[in-house]
Structure 1
């Protein structure tokens, strides 16, 4: 099964609803996501903090159609809640890598406006 990085249907729906505010929404998502990735890196050894950051990042990613990023955040949130925390750093790295993949896609979408 192909992994969806950015769902264009979600973006089209947002563009219709947000109209002139759509570019601002993309800017906010990009800025906020960068900050969350940095916060995940800094919280690598704090399962509770990772879970909280992952929870909010999951929501914003899902709302903006960053499907795989949202799934990875969901996994990190779930794993951080377990009593025995394995290596959450691997999931943080995967989220970091996925954001690095989708960031130029969203920047390209932003450049259309």
Structure 2
């Protein structure tokens, strides 16, 4: 398991590609992630949990949020198991990791100069 909250090389590449759209990309990622996190906390349907975790994993990976993507991948797999018992602790771990990522994205957003 990685302990990298945000891969700065990935962000650097995104910054080059997105140019002036980079801050909006960060904002969209945060907004979408917060919505997905709400679903993970509220959803009881295993299929929906797995699908939400899968999409969260993809966006996290694209943004360089390595550990967050790993945790979402773990949740995606766990949601496919017969019992969802204990899944709350994994969702809480995702929540905690996203708190780190959110703070780093906000710092990145504030440091961006057009």
Q: What TM-score do you get using the length of structure 1 for normalisation? A: 0.92
Aligned-partner Cα distance in 2 for 1:7–1:53: 22
Q: Is the 8 A contact 2:30 2:102 kept in 1?
A: yes
1:111 corresponds to: 110
1:63-74 paired onto structure 2 within 5 Å: 63-74=62-73
Please give the secondary structure, in 1, of the residue aligned with 2:99.
Answer: helix
- 1:13 deviates by 0.5
Task: Give the drift of 1:86.
Answer: 3.5
CA contact (8 A) 2:46 2:84 kept: yes
For 2:50, the equivalent position in structure 1 comes to: 51
Aligned-pair Cα RMSD in Å: 1.3
SS in structure 2 of the partner of residue 86 of structure 1: coil
Number of equivalent positions = 112
What are the superposed Cα offsets for residues 61-88 of structure 1, whole Å, 9 maximum, x if unpaired?
0000000000000000011112343321
Say whether residues 1:36 and 2:36 are aligned partners.
Answer: yes
- Equivalent residue for 2:26? 26
Q: Structure 1: which 4+ aligned runs deviate by more than 3 Å?
A: none
TM-score by length of 2: 0.92
Instruction: Please name the residue that 1:98 is paired with.
Output: 97
- Tell me, yes or no, if the aligned pair for 2:2 and 2:66 is still in contact at 8 Å: no
Q: Where does structure 2 lack aligned partners over 5 or more consecutive residues?
A: none
Q: Write out per-residue CA displacement over residues 22-75 of structure 1, whole angstroms, 9 at most, x where no aligned residue.
A: 1110010011111111111111x3222110110000000000000000000000
> Does the residue aligned with 2:82 lie in a helix, a strand or coil?
coil
Give ranges in structure 1 of 5+ residues lacking alignment: none
